[in-house]
Amino acid sequence: MDYDTRQVVRIFSKERMESYRWLTLYLSLFIKDILPVSISNNQRDLKYYASRCHFAIVYHSKKRGRINVTDVADALYNKELRYLHRTIGKQNILVVIGDMDDSSESVKEQILQRQPSITKWAHGLFLFTEAEILSLQDYQYGPSVMDEKMEAMKKRIKGKRECLGYLQQYQIDYQDPRPSWRKYFKGERRVLIISFLFLIFLVAMVLVGIYVRASCCQNTMENTTAMPISSTTTHPTDTMSAI
């Protein structure tokens, strides 16, 4: 199986994982590191996994009753899409809506007109009906002929490398998904070290100056104390004798 071992793809959704298991299975045909991520209102998991992926898919199901991804009342993914856009870039984000009654281009255009932030924050929108999802179940066995829509999604995911290059500066270790910031902050660390050493040098110079000044003052006082009494000083007895 032709896996892409370099890409890390995450599916972010507020749906139950079972509802988009079909999508996870399909992506696993060509992406080795694919993981569904359930997100909540506190966005903790979103922020954690967004910074550790190359490509993100936001999944919504029509079974919720409405298509409320962005820009409408009770929109579910306004903040999430905006954060992903800021973190990994528009070119690395797709929105997928499943369980549609109609997945035609006209319906897609209507959704994009009413919810323009999908186009603003994501690179594409894919719609799937329940019948289409059921027909994709056999894809987990590696079909020789792909559906045109799924092939287009595959090309979008595999063809985008902006985020890969963006994340390489953090030296992601795929054995440990936590990013290493050493390379990213290498220049900043060097500046901090130089500034710290310079500060130590200034403090040392000030202390040396204080020590030298204190030594000079002490020597001056010692010299003053040890100075002999002048011979021209008149003794009181001499004064009385003179009288």
89: left (phi over 0), alpha (psi -120 to 50) or beta: left
17 pLDDT exceeds 90? yes
CA distance linking residue 155 with residue 151, whole number of Å? 6
**pLDDT of amino acid 161:** 47
Q: Can you name the residues that pair with 173 across neighbouring β-strands?
A: 176
Is the model more confident about 200 or about 226? Answer: 200
Q: Output the CATH code of domain 4-168.
A: 3.40.50.2300
**pLDDT of amino acid 122:** 96
State the SS3 of the chain: CCCEEEEEEEEEECCCHHHHHHHHHHHCCCEEEEEEEECCCCCHHHHHHHCCCCEEEEEEEHHHCCCCCCCCCCCCCHHHHHHHHHHHCHHHEEEEEEEECCCCHHHHHHHHHHCCHHHHHCCEEEEEEHHHHHHCHHHHHCCCCCCHHHHHHHHHHHCCCHHHHHHHCCCCECCECCCCCCCCCHHHHHHHHHHHHHHHHHHHHHHHHHHHHHHHHHHHHHHHHCCCCCCCCCCHHHHHHHC
**pLDDT of amino acid 136:** 72
pLDDT digits (tens, 9 = 90+) for 143-187: 443 468 888 888 888 875 444 433 333 333 333 344 444 444 455
Is the model more confident about 58 or about 145? Answer: 58
19 pLDDT exceeds 80? yes
CA 130 to chain centroid: 35
Give the start-to-end residue ranges of the domains of the chain: 4-168, 185-221
Poorest-pLDDT segment among 29-33, 147-151, 200-204: 147-151
